[in-house]
Structure 1
Amino acid sequence: MALAIGSFAPAAFGQALLPHTLQVDPVQMEKTGISVAEEALQLARFRQYELAIPRAELATQLAPQSYQTWALLGTLYIETKEVEKGISALQKARQLNPKEAAILFSLGSARFQQENYSAAIEELKAGLALKPNVPGALFDLGNAYYKLSQYSEAVANYEKAFAAEKNFWPAINNIGLVKYENGDIEGAIQRWQTAISIDSKAAEPMLALGVAFYTKGEKEKGLATAQAALKLDVRYADVEFLKENLWGNRLLADTQKLLQTPQIQATVAQSQSQ
């Protein structure tokens, strides 16, 4: 803009000022947009969303025909719970590239956040048809079926997710959640032990295992296991957090009994103070 202004010579008295048209290079604008989007992505990796989102918005203006910029913006909106805006941006990305599975996976995640589990299943299955055996997408699909109480479909997709990635312990953990809700405590214990064998610092299956032991009557073993879990991550002492992680009514009820014990309350208080 400074160059454009400087290019005007002072007009003589009575002389008409000729208009100056700014020349725009659309190719360069798109390159700049992609560069800005890359900056937004780097910021998002450090969870600096308040800086990432304005850059992603600018990137869509500079490169409006790039599905990547719209997909990034949509994903960032969803990460910050602006789900409606996220879906709108993702749908724009989908119009530009209907064959990109990652867009459909993100739309499935957004529909899940809306608690529209049937729509989430539809989007995720469409993405998996384009790109099968993606562990995260299979896991999300299992979760959507789980929320609809379609447990056999949920378990089938959790198993596929684990088969696709052998260290993907959350899939095994969630099979344990299904089994516990169906009254198969021994089956749940087996799954949670497997999850812990994959990641010894996984607090969620560790706490669930402690609850199962405690409920079975192995009180000391259950308390010790639960205390170890809460020392790793005290967030799991919050029932609302457990609900977000898909813990069912049966497991939540048994967990609340455990959380009310003096030993666990002392562990939670100590962990929170630290």
Structure 2
Amino acid sequence: MAQRRNRQSAFGGLAAALLGVGLIGWSLPAEALVPYVYLPSEEELKGSSLGIGRTAAQLLQLGQPREAAQLAALAVRLHPDDERLWSVLAEAQLRSEQLDAASVSLAKAKSLNPDKAGLWFAEAAIALRSDRPDEAISLLNRGLQLDSNNSAAYFDLGNARIMQEELKMALQAFEKATALKPDFWEALNNQALVLYQLGNREEAIRRWRKVLSIEDNPEPMLALAAALYRQDRNRDEALRLAKTSLAKEPNYVLAPHQEEQLWGTKIRAAAAQLMADEELADTVERARANATWKKRS
């Protein structure tokens, strides 16, 4: 009863204060419009959340992950039971280096739809970024049980195997990726990296040439140049490729960047030998000045 009296007393005080400023006792004209706030229904909120989620996905495609994460966070607040929205949020957080937050979002999405292979693959990607290859392999294998034809998952599996120094298993995974997607040049490039580390230089060179027939990318370009130079043949071609590669992507002048891209010790040694050539001195100096690589935290 004491609490009830207190509430009555508080209300009475508020009423007196309102009367004091003339707000109570003032009557609206009979035909006056009463202003109100429109409250959307639950279904309307769900519909709005999907539209916001689509916009977030579009921002991801445009390379704006932080903006996408902000929109996706709003979408999941409006509709927290849609795993698609949590997936978009997790992807945006992953791409904007918010790894812990991405893990939380993925866990929520998986609780809503544990049979969606992409969620397992995304969690594996976070494990890889955090240098946890054992965990990544377990997650990838679970996802591949649900979607056995995912070339990107086999690519990530190969990368995890390289991190474990299981090179033959890595090669098998990369070859599975290109069997599913023949123009998957990144997987073909990594096949060549593994083959070179295993000592099969001729086959590595052949595959790097095949990569460049698909994609004119500076990484396989420099790797091929290093392999040719180390073989003491096609020196002019090797120097030309190296100059073009380092002009396109100067970060590859740095051995730590090469290592982060899973280059083995043998191809890094070959690249160091190549870049010590006097004819590349200006190119190497310019690349070092323009390199922007920083060690990933």
What range describes the TM-score normalised by the shorter chain of this pair? Answer: 0.7 to 0.9
Question: Aligned residues: percent identity?
Answer: 29
* SS in structure 1 at match of 2:120: helix
Q: Which residue of 2 aligns with 1:64?
A: 80
The Cα of 1:248 is off from its aligned counterpart by 1.2
The Cα of 1:244 is off from its aligned counterpart by 2.3
Q: Which residue of 1 aligns with 2:263?
A: 247
Q: Which residue of 2 aligns with 1:75?
A: 91
Q: Which residue of 2 aligns with 1:210?
A: 225
CA distance in 2, matches of 1:225, 1:52: 38
CA distance in 2, matches of 1:143, 1:235: 20
Alignment of 1:161-200 (within 5 A): 161-199=177-215
Q: Which residue of 2 aligns with 1:259?
A: 275
CA distance in 2, matches of 1:127, 1:44: 23
Deviations 1:66-87 (A, max 9, x none): 1011111111111111111111
Corresponding residue to 1:84 among 94, 100, 123 = 100
Q: Which residue of 2 aligns with 1:7?
A: none
CA distance in 1, matches of 2:79, 2:279: 57
Contact 1:37 1:55 in 2 (8 A): yes
Q: Which residue of 2 aligns with 1:55?
A: 71
Corresponding letter in the other structure for 2:245? A
Deviations 1:211-248 (A, max 9, x none): 01111122333222222322343332232322221111
* SS in structure 2 at match of 1:92: helix
CA distance in 1, matches of 2:249, 2:38: 57
Corresponding letter in the other structure for 2:219? E
The Cα of 1:65 is off from its aligned counterpart by 0.3
Corresponding letter in the other structure for 1:139? F
Corresponding letter in the other structure for 1:214? Y
Deviations 1:73-110 (A, max 9, x none): 11111111111111111111010011111111111101
CA distance in 1, matches of 2:256, 2:76: 36
Q: Does 1:149 align with 2:165?
A: yes
CA distance in 1, matches of 2:160, 2:192: 16
Q: Which residue of 2 aligns with 1:102?
A: 118
Residue segments in structure 1 that go unaligned for 5+ positions in a row: 1-9, 14-19
Contact 2:66 2:92 in 1 (8 A): no
Residue segments in structure 2 that go unaligned for 5+ positions in a row: 1-22, 27-35, 291-297
Contact 1:236 1:242 in 2 (8 A): yes
The Cα of 1:22 is off from its aligned counterpart by 7.9
Greater Cα radius of gyration, structure 1 or 2: 2
Contact 1:133 1:160 in 2 (8 A): no
For the aligned residue pairs, the C-alpha RMSD in angstroms reads 2.1
CA distance in 1, matches of 2:177, 2:222: 22
Deviations 1:117-138 (A, max 9, x none): 0111111111111112111111
The farther-off stretch of 75-84 and 234-243 is 234-243
Corresponding residue to 2:56 among 4, 27, 40 = 40
Contact 2:275 2:281 in 1 (8 A): yes
Contact 1:112 1:120 in 2 (8 A): yes
CA distance in 2, matches of 1:118, 1:229: 33
Corresponding letter in the other structure for 1:82? Q
> TM-score by structure 2 length?
0.80
Deviations 1:27-84 (A, max 9, x none): 2111111111111111121222232221111111011001011111111111111111
Q: Which residue of 1 aligns with 2:25?
A: 12
Contact 2:155 2:173 in 1 (8 A): yes
The Cα of 1:21 is off from its aligned counterpart by 10
Q: Count the aligned residue pairs.
A: 257
Corresponding letter in the other structure for 1:71? S
